[in-house]
Amino acid sequence: MSSVFFMLTMGLYFVSTVCYLAYLLRRAETLSKVSLGITAVGFATHTVALVARMTDTGQAQLPTFHEALSFFSWMLILVFLAVEFRRQLHVLGSFIVPLALVSLVTAAAFRSDEASSLQPVFKTLWVHVTLSMLGTVGFAVAFVAGVMYLIQDGLLKSKRFNVLYAKLPALDYLDHLNQQSIVMGFPLLTLGIISGAFSAEIVRGTYVNWNPEQTWAMVTWGFYFAVLVGRLTIGWRAKRAAYLTIIGFAGVILTLIGVVLKSHGSVS
């Protein structure tokens, strides 16, 4: 059942992505309502798919890359719906929904239906994956806010008052969204890394063994730490913060790719 709902969700997010991208180019506001509706239905089917996946195997199974990405996509949409609900920021959907779709499609590529037995260690692994992914959602939203900031900044600087200009929100709101996302994401990632170290200790007896993807993760963590501290102390905000969070998210993606290449399915 899970796979049916999963495919359905992918279809819905695809349609919604198309609508949201068309919305960027069109003056009419009606398209955003249609897109939002489709996204909300997709979110519901996705929730069903996730729950079904958990119960399909009787008990929680080994967290795979598929689960992690699917959960990431789900959280991303949840955050979007929350922001949309509070601020009616329709245009955010044009940036977040495509991202959610990409991660869902990637998740589909790594889907396997073989249930593996759950050893006690994987409970801490679940905590590690969940927290890391929540942190990543924060960075993803910061990334999206950064991209939107740079676009709006560019439009204002070049005085191109087009449809996109009209739809994007004020610069300082985007900067605020960027900051909030990192303030939320960073502690979650920190906890994710700590729990990862604990599970590594259980499996391998060492907390850290400095393999490439662990090193990348630490570099990414250090980078976001610097971004956060820089913002709070020496005014790394606005355009600079936008650039930094885009670079940071690229680092996150690289880490994830490293994890996949190494483990081919299961996250360690």
Partner 1 sequence: MHVIVVGLSHKTAPVEIREKLAVPESRLREALSRLCSYPGVREGLLLSTCNRVEVYAVVEELETGYGRVQEFLADTHLSLSSEHLTPHLYWHAGDRAIGHLFRVASSLDSMIVGESQILGQIKDAFEVALTHKASGLLLNKIVKKAISVAKRVRTETKISETAVSVSYAAVELAKKIFSNLTEKTVLLIGAGEMAKLAARHLIANGVRQVRITTRNFQHGLELAQRFNGTAVPFEDYKAELAEADIVLVSTGASHYLVTADDVQRAMRQRMSRPMFLIDISVPRNIDPAVRPIDDAFLFDIDDLHMRVEQNREDRLREAAKAEQMVVEEVAVLGQWLQSLEVTPTIVALRSRADELKRREVDKILARLAHLSSEDRAAVEALASAIVNKMVHGTMVTLKAEARSSSGAAYVDAARRFFNLEETPAVYPPGQVDVSELPDENIAGNGVGHLPEASLVQHTSKEQGRRVS
Q: Cβ closer to partner 1: 85 or 207? A: 85
Residue 210: what residue type?
A: W
Q: Cβ closer to partner 1: 152 or 245? A: 152
* Closest distance to partner 1 from the beta carbon of 22 (Å): 19
Q: Cβ closer to partner 1: 126 or 149? A: 149
Range 123-129, long-range pairs (CB < 8 A, 24+ positions): 124/195, 124/198, 124/199, 124/202, 125/62, 125/63, 125/199, 125/267, 125/268, 126/60, 126/63, 127/195, 128/192, 128/195, 128/196, 128/198, 128/199, 128/267, 129/63, 129/67, 129/68, 129/71, 129/192, 129/267
Q: Cβ closer to partner 1: 173 or 225? A: 173
Distance from C-alpha of 267 to C-alpha of 129, rounded to nearest angstrom: 8
* Closest distance to partner 1 from the beta carbon of 167 (Å): 11
Q: Cβ closer to partner 1: 76 or 168? A: 168
Pair of tokens at residue 6: 């999963």
Distance from C-alpha of 227 to C-alpha of 250, rounded to nearest angstrom: 14
Q: Cβ closer to partner 1: 86 or 157? A: 157
Q: Is 177 helix (H, G, I), strand (E, B) or coil?
A: helix
- Non-local (6+) Cβ contacts of 176 within 8 A are none
- Non-local (6+) Cβ contacts of 225 within 8 A are 186
Residues that bind partner 1 (CB under 8 A): 152, 156-157, 159, 161, 165, 168-173, 176, 234-240
Distance from C-alpha of 184 to C-alpha of 200, rounded to nearest angstrom: 25
* Closest distance to partner 1 from the beta carbon of 235 (Å): 2
- Non-local (6+) Cβ contacts of 201 within 8 A are 207
Terminal Cα distance for the chain, rounded: 28
Q: Is the dihedral of CA 162, 166, 172, 178 positive or negative?
A: negative
Q: Cβ closer to partner 1: 105 or 238? A: 238
